[in-house]
């Protein structure tokens, strides 16, 4: 082989070996970069998926806020379930149910229009004076019965707090009272509402109201 030819082959082989080494190095570097990128991606994904740990004070406040909201909702539900029917005034219902019977009502609706015709000075029942509200109260509460039919009975006309032992109530509610005749004498009996009014007033203490 000619000298020039051998040098040319050796030079070519040297160039080819250098190029191959450089190519291998570039390939290794590329593989290393891809590996680092993959590792960084996995690490970043893991960090993104990691749960966030909240401070204990924040968790406590969040729990308290949720509990308070739940209590508020329960309170609203209970209050809406106990609401009064539409168009009904709660105050008027309770007031009418709790309104006590008064002597003024007993006198104006029963004693004055029904009984004072006889039980008045100069009347057949003048031993009781129902001509005014004050005189009627004085003649009734805690007073022993008098008159031709009941004077000797020992009955009390009105026993405060005890309608069943009060002669007034017995005479207007019973067909056969302990003494004398039922009242009103010679007239129609009182209505159930009227006798209940008398009973309630006596049982409430027979006040002069």
Q: 36-50, 59-73, 128-142: which has the highest mean pLDDT? A: 128-142
Q: Residue 180: is its pLDDT beyond 70? A: yes
Domain positions in the chain are 100-203
Within the chain, what is the greatest distance between any pair of CA atoms? 177
pLDDT of residue 81: 46
Residue 199 binned pLDDT confidence (cut-offs 50, 70, 90) = very high
User: What percent of the chain has pLDDT above 90?
Assistant: 50
pLDDT, position 15: 43
> What confidence score (pLDDT) does residue 68 get?
53
- By C-alpha distance, which of 1, 38, 201 is closest to 110? 201
- Nearest CA-CA partner of 106 in 181, 189, 209: 209
How buried is 128 (Cβ within 10 angstroms: 0-12 exposed, 13-18 middle, 19+ buried)? Answer: buried
Of residues 195 and 64, more confidently modeled: 195
Looking at per-residue confidence, does 69 or 4 come out higher?
69
Three-class HEC string of 102-148: CHHHHHHHHHHHHHCCCCCCCCCCCCCCCCCHHHHHHHHECCECCCC
The larger pLDDT score, comparing residue 151 to residue 80, is at: 151
Which of the residue ranges 37-51, 111-125, 134-148, 160-174 would you say has the lowest mean pLDDT? 37-51
């Amino acid at each position: 082989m000619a000298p020039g030819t051998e040098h040319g082959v050796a030079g070519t082989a040297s160039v080819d070996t250098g190029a191959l080494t450089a190519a291998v190095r570039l390939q290794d570097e590329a593989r290393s970069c891809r590996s680092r990128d993959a590792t960084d991606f996995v690490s970043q994904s893991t960090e993104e998926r990691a749960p966030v740990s909240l401070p204990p004070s924040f968790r406590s406040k969040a729990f308290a806020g949720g509990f308070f909201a739940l209590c508020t909702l329960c309170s609203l539900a209970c209050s809406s379930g106990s609401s009064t029917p539409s168009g009904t005034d709660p105050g008027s219902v309770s007031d009418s149910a709790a309104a006590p019977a008064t002597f003024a009502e007993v006198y104006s609706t029963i004693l004055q229009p029904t009984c004072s015709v006889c039980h008045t000075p100069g009347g057949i029942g003048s031993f009781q004076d129902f001509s005014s509200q004050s005189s009627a109260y004085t003649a009734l509460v805690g007073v022993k019965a008098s008159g031709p039919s009941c004077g000797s009975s020992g009955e009390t006309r009105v026993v405060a707090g005890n309608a069943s032992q009060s002669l007034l109530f017995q005479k207007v509610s019973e067909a056969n009272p302990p003494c004398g005749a039922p009242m009103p004498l010679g007239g129609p009996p009182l209505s159930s509402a009227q006798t209940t009014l008398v009973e309630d007033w006596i049982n409430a203490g027979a006040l002069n109201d």
